[in-house]
Amino acid sequence: MLRPSILVALLAAPAAAQASYSFNALQGSDTHPYTLLDGQDGWSEQTFNARQRCGVTATLSHDATPCLRFQEVGPGYGCDASRKNDAAWSFAPLVSTQRNAYFQADMFVGYWGGTFGMAYDANTNGIVRGSEAGERGVRFVLGTQSNVQLQLVPASGAAVRVPLAALGIASGQWIRVRVLLDLAANGAGGLGSVEVQNLTLGQTSFTSVPGLQDVPLGLDPSATDARNAALWDALFLHFEGATYMLDNIEVGRAGFARAFGSGCAAGAGTATLSAQGQLQAGGVLQLDSSGHAAGQPGVLLLGISDASYLGLALPLALDPLLGTSGCSLFTSIDATASGITSASAPAVLSFSFGVPSPTFSARLYAQTLTLAPVPGGLALSNGLLLQLR
């Protein structure tokens, strides 16, 4: 058992609150054209080339609650909608030093593209539209049309796209999309990473999207438009074509785990470290390293840096030093916990600990090292970034 005090000693800082928004308090109807969104609870909506407006349903969300829906069919038929922070609901302002900011929403997948993201009412007219320059910040786009797929769009507007087929996402499914924002990275230009959860298929956790990890966000903390994340004060969405729905918005800070680097042979496979459980205060986090020979002693390495250790640059190739094969050190070693791999191969080395309260935010790096019947007698896992909320 790893004592929570070890984690606190590594790095601690205050954490901001999470803001959640559902459409449950709005008036809705399940009869097309649904109840008009425009004017409800601070929402402003405008339709393009279409008679039918974006509306609020009563029970059509995946959880049988109200949600937004746009029904007009065809390319070029769309709607913009936005909600600016006000006394009734708002999200906490972001700052350029935040490394675990995020926003997410549940979206019903259509064809021509649904967009959701952060925005800034730069001209102070109380609304955000795609036609208003400099108001749309970082956002995601989701749609099955070949030129849409899943996109992360930086504030600079140069979208990065990955195909939906590889993610098992199809038209008519409800997908929860989370965009993780490291605002301090990339010289304060920010890096964004996308995770998805297929609600229709019953998935209970997020999966990182290959190709949409650490994407430059084009932010500028000195800008006077939506490139400055600290100015974001609104939510923005755009539906292009029919059947798009949206629900359950969140903005705040997120805990997450992300693997990096590659482990080496561990006697019964490749040493692979992963995290399960809650990455937030009061939760229980379990780290599992798999692929090991049975009954071998091992150590969990925890550090506060993935860049250097004892004056040496990380990652550090260990083969020339220890005679191992394909092994590297990915984290500084600032705390350790020891254990034994399980009794049958492929064995697992597990560590469980409670994330301490009161709430704090910490970014840590983890890796496991075990004895193994392999060259050099040692096996090391991949590195694991742990962002605790």
Report the candidate in 172, 237, 177 with the shortest Cα–Cα distance to residue 209. 177
Residue with token string 């590297």: 328
Q: What is the pLDDT of residue 162?
A: 98
Check whether 14 has a pLDDT greater than 90: no
Higher pLDDT, residue 281 or 123: 123
pLDDT per residue as tens digits for the range 63-95: 999 999 998 876 678 999 999 999 999 999 999
The pLDDT value recorded for residue 71 is: 86
Q: Beta strands 215-216 and 316-317: pairing type?
A: unpaired
**Residue 175 bridge partners (DSSP):** 107, 198
Question: Would you say residue 277 has pLDDT above 90?
Answer: no
Positive or negative torsion for Cα 55, 156, 361, 283: positive
- Mean pLDDT confidence for 321-329: 97
* Residue 1 pLDDT: 37
The answer, yes or no, to whether residue 15 has pLDDT greater than 50, is no
pTM: 0.80
Gap between the Cα atoms of 155 and 229, Å rounded: 9
Q: Where residue 357 falls among pLDDT bands split at 50, 70, 90?
A: low
Mapped onto helix, strand or coil, the DSSP state of residue 101 is strand
Tens of pLDDT, residue by residue over 142-198, are 999 999 999 999 998 789 999 999 999 999 999 999 999 999 999 999 999 999 999
Position 106 pLDDT exceeds 60:
yes
With b for 16 or more beta-carbon neighbours within 10 A and e for fewer, the 341-378 pattern comes to: bbeebbbbbbbebbbbeebbbbbbbbbbbbbbebbbeb
Digit-coded pLDDT (tens) for 24-56: 999 999 998 899 999 999 999 999 887 888 999
Residue 353: what residue type? F
Look at residue 238 and tell me whether its pLDDT is greater than 90: yes
262 vs 387: which has the higher pLDDT: 262
287-300: average pLDDT? 96
Domains and CATH numbers, the chain: 16-254 (2.60.120.560), 257-388 (2.20.130)
Q: Over 50: is that where the pLDDT of 13 sits?
A: no
Q: Identify the pLDDT of residue 351.
A: 94
Give the pLDDT mean for 124-133: 95
The token duo for 52 is 């039918």
Beta bridge partners of 35: 56
What pLDDT score does 173 carry? 98
pLDDT computed for residue 4 by the predictor: 38
CA distance 103 to 158: 19
